[in-house]
Amino acid sequence: MYEQVAVLRKLAADIPVPKTKLRVISVTSGKGGVGKTNFTVNLALALIELDYRVIILDGDFGLANVDIAFGLTPRFTMEHLIAGEKTIEDILLTGPKGIGILPGGSGVQEMANLERSQLLNVLSNIGRLEKYADILIIDTGAGLSQTVINFLRASDEIILVTTPEPTSLTDAYGLLKALDIANGEHSVSVVINRVHTEAEARDTYERLAATVCKFLSGSLTFLGWVYDDPFVGRAIMSQEPVALSYPESSANKCIQWIAGTIMGLNLQVPNRGIKGFLHSLLRNF
């Protein structure tokens, strides 16, 4: 296994670095059912409205559903890429407004067991993402699986989605603990979803931040909130993002504001691009 990891790192080092580096953002949650995927797809559309090229990688390899949110049916997934059957261009879906979608597949978890020739093919394919997008958003699986933690540690930024519910906050804290944010290596921003007032959102964030400060010695950033909006449910049932079905809805306006905030943030650590992402991801195998 250790020899295989060394090969992975060597291959990742051979990927050429373009002048403009891809920004890798992971959207995650401590538990399912908090609206993480819905937030992700609408955030991506809001970023496209700001003239950025965006690709979503569906990182929930057990219950992948980004394509469902757009009403799309993929023919191929990341599993076909890793098996050497298809290229990144073959599996990349094009959705509304030109958004790119990379459907997940359980084969991603088998990267460390591939032959050298297969590894080179996979890494060279993933390395080409920098040509097609300015931002890669990873919609991680919910919970504390090692795959989720690996994606988070490899990303430039992490957006944690939670709700005011006590169980959601408890699971969000559990995720931050597993991530070990106390070492200061990870930029974690928090979005409070399904709130009725700004005061509720800020109170929820302060409770989570206080617990983190007390027990983890880490810090968070309050990125914003999304109102509990009936139009979101209607959009989900129609398999179309609320940004497209109800662009003037309160939920979409919140997400548009968050998108603008994200692009205005000055990171302490520069974007590492796809090469840096791969280096960090493979280091955790």
pLDDT digits (tens, 9 = 90+) for 138-165: 999 877 887 788 889 889 999 999 999 9
- 135 forms beta bridges with 23, 54
- What Rg value do the Cα atoms of the chain yield, rounded? 18
**pLDDT at 168 > cutoff 90:** yes
Residues facing 195 on adjacent strands: 227
CA distances from 97 to 38, 81, 108, 159, 167 (A): 17, 25, 27, 23, 36
Domain boundaries, the chain: 2-283
pLDDT tens digit sequence for 114-136: 566 676 777 788 889 999 999 99
pTM, to two decimals: 0.87
Q: Map residue 27 onto helix, strand or coil.
A: strand
Provide the token pair at 77: 């997934």
Does 204 have pLDDT greater than 50?
Answer: yes
Q: Residue 268 — pLDDT band, cuts 50, 70, 90?
A: very low
Classify residue 3 as exposed, middle or buried by CB count within 10 Å of its CB (0-12, 13-18, 19+). Answer: exposed
Cα dihedral 235, 239, 243, 247 sign: negative
The letter for the amino acid at 93 is L
Return d(Cα 201, Cα 209) in angstroms, integer.
Answer: 12
- Per DSSP, the three-state class of 206 is helix
Please give the CATH superfamily to which domain 2-283 belongs: P-loop containing nucleotide triphosphate hydrolases (3.40.50.300)
Query: Taking a C-beta distance cutoff of 8 angstroms, is the pair 136, 23 a contact?
Result: yes
